[in-house]
Structure 1
Amino acid sequence: MTQRDWIEKDFYRELGVSSSASDSEIKKAYRKLARELHPDANPGDAVAETRFKAVSEAYGVLSDPEKRAEYDETRKLFAGGGFSGGFPGGQGFPGGFPGQGGAQGFDLGDLFGQGTGSGGAGGLGDLFGNLFGNRGASTAAGGYSGGQRPQQGADVESRLTIPFEDAVRGATMTLNISSPGTCDTCHGSGARPGTGSHTCPICGGAGVVSRSQGAFAFSEPCRDCRGTGRVVDEPCPECGGDGVSTKVRTLTVRVPAGVDDGQRIRLPGKGEPGRYGGPPGDLYVRMSVTPHRVFGRSAKNPNDLTLKVPVTFPELVQGATLTVPTLDSTVSLKIPAGTQSGRTFRVRGRGVQAKKGAGDLLVTVEVAIPQRLDEAAAAALQEYADATKASDPRADLLAGER
C-alpha cells in the first residue's frame, strides 16, 4: 500500500471512529472489529475476510503517529480527489497569476514542476511527492516517476493466550496466525503463472494521470494500475492480482519471563510481505494471561507476585510459623504475635525471575471467620468474649462522640 491509495480510502470510517479519535479509542475499535471479523471466527466467510484485511490496513496506518499524520495531511490536501475550486479551504486565486491570463490560465501542473520549462526545479513536486511515497524522485521532465516502487508491508497484530505460569517463567509458544502473506501461486507478482505484465495504457507507466477540474489541472494515482505503472496480462486466480493472499502461518514465539497481560511482543519482519521488493512489516503479538487460582501480580511492580493466606485468630494473636506455596515449591513464613489481619509480608526472591532481577512474593494474611461453631467452640468463644469485654477496640473511634 502506498500513500497514493490513501486518497480514496477512509480509514476512520473503516474503524468506525472520528478523525479526532484518540489512540486508545482507535485501538479499542480495532480490537473489537478484529475479534468479530477474524477468519478463525468466520471460516469460509469471504466478506468478513475482506473486512478484516481492510480493518487491519486502517489500524496499521492510524496506530502509527507518523503514518497517521501523513495520512491526515494527504486527505486534507486531496480530499474528494482534488482541490475544490482552489487550494485547501476553498481559497482560490481570483486575480490569477502574472503571465497566466487570470485564474483560467493557471495549470496546477506548473505548481508540481510539470510545466514545459526545464522541468521541475523549484516546483512543489518534491514536496507533494513525499505525500505519495515518491520521496522526491521525479522524471526527467519534472513529473512523478512511475513504475513499481518498493512498498513496505503493513504491520499485523495477533493475540496469544498463555497460562499464568508461562507468563511468569517464560516459555516458547506456537502461534497459528491467519494473515496476508505472499501469494504462493504467483509468488507476489500478481500475474497468473506463465503470464506477465505490460505498461499501463492509461498512464503510460507513470502511475499517475492528469485530470482537470474547473480552472485547475492536477495529477492523481492511476486507478487502472493502482499507481504501479504496470498491468498484469492475466490476474492470478488465487490473489486476484494483488500478489498477496490470506494464509495460515505457524510461528514460534519466545515469551520472556515476566510478560504481563495486555503486553505486546514485536516480531520484526513477520507481518505482511512487502511489494515490489519492499521489506515486510512487523508482527505484534498481544499477550492475554490466564488468571491463576491463588497467585496474582502486584500493580506497583509486575515482577512481584501476590498471595492471600487465610489464618486463624489464635495464630494472629499468639504468632505462628506458616507454610505457604510459591510457584516452584513452598516456603516457611513466621507470623509475629499480635499481627493484624491484612498485614503483608515480603518473601525476597520468590517472584518473577526476570532478566533485570527477581521479584518478591507478597503474602497478605487474612483472618478466616468460621461459618459455624460446634457447642464446645461456641462456649469457648463466649468465655473469651466475657474475659475481654473490658477491652473496647472501638474506644478511640468513638472518643469524639462522648
Structure 2
Amino acid sequence: MTSIADPDYWSLLGLEPGSNQAQLKRAFRQEARRWHPDLNGNDPVAEERFKLVNEAYAVLSDPRRRQSWEAGDRASETSHDPFASGFPHFEDYLEVVLGIPTTAVQDEPARVRVDSPVSAPPPPPPVQVREDLESTIELTPDQALLGTRVELALEDGTLVELDTPPFAGDGWRLRLEGVAAGGRDHFLQLRVVTPEGLRIDGLRVLYRLELFPPDAALGCAVDVPTLDGPVTLQVPPGSSSGRLLRLRGRGLTIDDRRGDQLVEIVIVIPADLGDAERALYRRLQELALDPDAS
C-alpha cells in the first residue's frame, strides 16, 4: 500500500482546525512576512516555505478546495507553480492576495510504504475522523536537512515506512493519510532539537536565550551554543523579549549554501526574589510611573 504524507495546512499557519477567516488572514499575513524571499535574502529554504504558506492559504480560504483537501482529494489541488516567473514585492503581494494596502513552500511530499503484519481485507470506506492520532519522531539536524527514512509502528501493529521531506524543521506536522485503523489519518510531528537546545528549521538554527532583566537592560556578553561549538554573543543594551539576534553562517550547510542562527531574547524573572531585590523592582516601578521622581 502506498500513501502520501502531506503538510498539515492548519499547523503550517499555526492555527487550530476550523479557525475563522479573520484568524486565517491574520496568520497568513504573519507567515508570509516571515518567509517572503524579499525579507530573507533570497534564501531557497524560505522560498519553499513561502510557497507552502501560499498553498495553505489558497486551500483553506476557499470553501470548495478546503472541503476537497479535508476529504483527502489531492488531485483536485494540483496546479502550476504561481511563482515560476519570480516573486512579487512583499507589499504588492499582500495587497493583491489579501485585498488590503500595507507599508511595511512546496517540499517534495514524504513517500510512505505501509506493511501490515497480517493479510488484511480491503479497507473500509472513508469515515469521519473523530480524533487525531499523532506520533513524534526525533531527527538529527542532518536527517532533517537531507530527509531520511523512518519506521513508525501504529497501535494496531501496522508498520509504516516513510521518507521525511528535506529541509524539514522542528515542529513540522505531516499527515499520513488513511494509514490508521478505520481509514483514519495519522499525524507525524517532527522534533529536531539538539541536546543544547538548538532547534532546526531548514538551514536555520533557532535558539532561545534566557536573560535576567539587568542583563537585558544593560547589555551583556554571554556564551551561546552553536552547531560548531559555543560562541560569545554581545547582547545590546535595552533588549526586550522577542528580540532576534543573528549569528551569520552558524546554521546548517548544503552545497554552497549556509544558513544563519537566530537567537531569541527571553527575559525571565527569578522565582525566589529576596527583600532587597523586591525593593529595587518597586523602585523601578515607581520610576517607570513617574520618571521625574527622585
TM range (shorter): 0.3 to 0.5
Larger radius of gyration: 1
TM-score by length of 2: 0.42
How high is the TM-score relative to the length of structure 1?
Answer: 0.32
* Larger helix proportion of the pair: 2
